[in-house]
Structure 1
Amino acid sequence: MHTGATREGAMKPTARQLLRWSGLAAVVAGVIFAGIQPIHPPDFLASVTTQAWAVIMPLKTLMCLLFLIGIAGLYFRQLGNVGWVGFLGFVCLTLSWWLQTGFVFAEALIVPVLATAAPQFIDSFLGIVNGVPGEMDIGALPAVYGVVGILYMLGGLLLGIATFRAGVLPRAPAALLAAASLLTPLAALLPHEIQRYAAIPVGLALAWLGLALWLERDAQSATPELHLQTSPPSMPG
């Protein structure tokens, strides 16, 4: 009985193992985010039934889910060190990718099906992204997508600043994340086909932070006492 209990205990994931795997999730998501930008199909009706769309959109859906895991790991690794700034950044960035997952899921599985049956709707839906308004009223979707962008910028900026100040993870990618997020609105001044390249530094920064978390092997320092965190996060000194 003792041997069985020991074996069962050895099979249970520890907080350190979960954090390291969340780091790997951030690496994969960040690499996908940066890597797909140069090859992303145009966000127009003619693209949604192409092979490129059929490959890229499911990959983006996976990317969004991995980002949710990876961002959580990056935050909880620094819990107690990043304060309210880090907490707000974590919440904003998580909400951004959570909402973005819904849009990407629709692009992957719904948009191609409706491309022939409801082309006006698809034109209007893709107009949220490509900046060319469609003829159909699609309700609150454009406003929600605007919120996604605001949360994405604020989340990256705040989490980057808090991570830089905390010094738990490398400061260079934290600074890159904050700077790239802060400059994201300037991408609106660029032609649409170039705008998405602004995502590359953000993807690389999150992948870099995730890699640092994945490679971390200090058993004591890499394991936050999650079960003891009962009070609100405090500001770092």
Structure 2
Amino acid sequence: MDITATGLTKAAGAAAAVAGAIFIAVQIGHPSSDSFTTETTQWMARSGAKSAMAALALAGITGMYLRQYRKAGVLGLVGYLVFAVGYLALLCVEVIAAAVLPNLVDSEPGFVDDVVTAANGGTPNGDIGGVQTLLNVAGAGYIVGGLLFGLALFRTGVLTRWAAALLAISTAATAALAVLPESFNRPLAVPAGLALIALGVSLWRNPRDGRQTSPATFPATAMAVSPAEQPAVR
């Protein structure tokens, strides 16, 4: 099977759309933070799904950036890098949540409770070490990176502009969760998921610059003209 730039770009578009769909799906019926514990199968399933979402979103935004990096400029580069770091940190957090925390419930219950508290925006009672740094990087990267990257996509106009605007607005609005009730957590995630789906579909349908022309077009035309028909050089 031949691997082409167009094929990779389409794959990135599909990854972004699937990531957006997963992001919306995990919000449906999500338990409240005070009843959602690492001892449940649902915890591991949702954390595993969020891990896949973060990995797919990282691949998706990489394809989006590479599709238009010449037009995106410094804003696009900075936005992409910050957004990518945010998703990478989120991926690490969710892998820890799915694979590590359930195994520490019996031996380190206080640490597990503190990590869950910090992940939900609360203040842990003890020191959770590097996990707190990962949470801070994931939150800041998602909010700031999403805003800058969405603005860059909107400015270039290569992909669906309303989806780019929605991405910028929805990720920036996440900062308001610090003062809003927990009931807003799930609904505010849906617009970002929709933005990823729409941008992914747009990238799938528009994987390359439509203004490109075949390099054989000019030589073939020139060869079809006899020397007598060519205009004299003056």
Please, what TM-score do these two structures have when normalized by structure 2?
0.84
Change over 3 Å in CA distance of 1:138–1:61 after alignment to 2: same
Change over 3 Å in CA distance of 1:91–1:46 after alignment to 2: closer
Runs of 4+ aligned structure 1 residues displaced above 4 Å come to 217-222
Structure 1: unaligned runs, 5 residues or longer: 1-10, 223-237
Contact 2:44 2:97 in 1 (8 A): no
Q: 2:41 aligns with which of 37, 43, 51?
A: 51
- Give percent identity, aligned residues only: 36
Aligned to 1:121: 111
Q: 1:201 aligns with which of 191, 213, 229?
A: 191
How far apart, in 2, do the equivalents of 1:161 and 1:200 lie? Answer: 19
Across the aligned residues of Structure 1 and Structure 2, the Cα RMSD in angstroms comes to 2.1
1:191 Cα deviation after fit: 1.6
1:201 Cα deviation after fit: 1.0
Partner SS for 1:144: helix
Partner SS for 1:49: coil
How far apart, in 1, do the equivalents of 2:23 and 2:211 lie? Answer: 29
How far apart, in 1, do the equivalents of 2:149 and 2:79 lie? Answer: 4
Structure 2: unaligned runs, 5 residues or longer: 213-234
Aligned to 1:231: none
Tell which structure's C-alpha radius of gyration is larger. Answer: 2
How far apart, in 2, do the equivalents of 1:196 and 1:88 lie? Answer: 28
How far apart, in 2, do the equivalents of 1:181 and 1:131 lie? Answer: 16
What is the correspondence of 1:144-163 to structure 2 with a 5 Å cutoff?
Answer: 144-163=134-153
How far apart, in 1, do the equivalents of 2:139 and 2:36 lie? Answer: 25
How far apart, in 2, do the equivalents of 1:36 and 1:48 lie? Answer: 16
Change over 3 Å in CA distance of 1:46–1:14 after alignment to 2: closer
What is the correspondence of 1:114-193 to structure 2 with a 5 Å cutoff?
Answer: 114-193=104-183
Please, what TM-score do these two structures have when normalized by structure 1?
0.83
1:104-159 deviation per Cα after TM superposition (whole angstroms, max 9, x unaligned): 00111111111122110100111111233333211243243122211111111111
How far apart, in 2, do the equivalents of 1:120 and 1:37 lie? Answer: 26
1:46 Cα deviation after fit: 5.4
Contact 2:86 2:138 in 1 (8 A): yes
1:92 Cα deviation after fit: 0.6
How far apart, in 2, do the equivalents of 1:221 and 1:52 lie? Answer: 48
Pair 1:95-2:121 in alignment: no
Higher relative contact order (CA 8 A, sep 6+): 1
Aligned to 2:28: 38
1:193 Cα deviation after fit: 4.0
Bigger proportion of residues as helix:
1
How far apart, in 2, do the equivalents of 1:167 and 1:46 lie? Answer: 41
1:77 Cα deviation after fit: 0.9
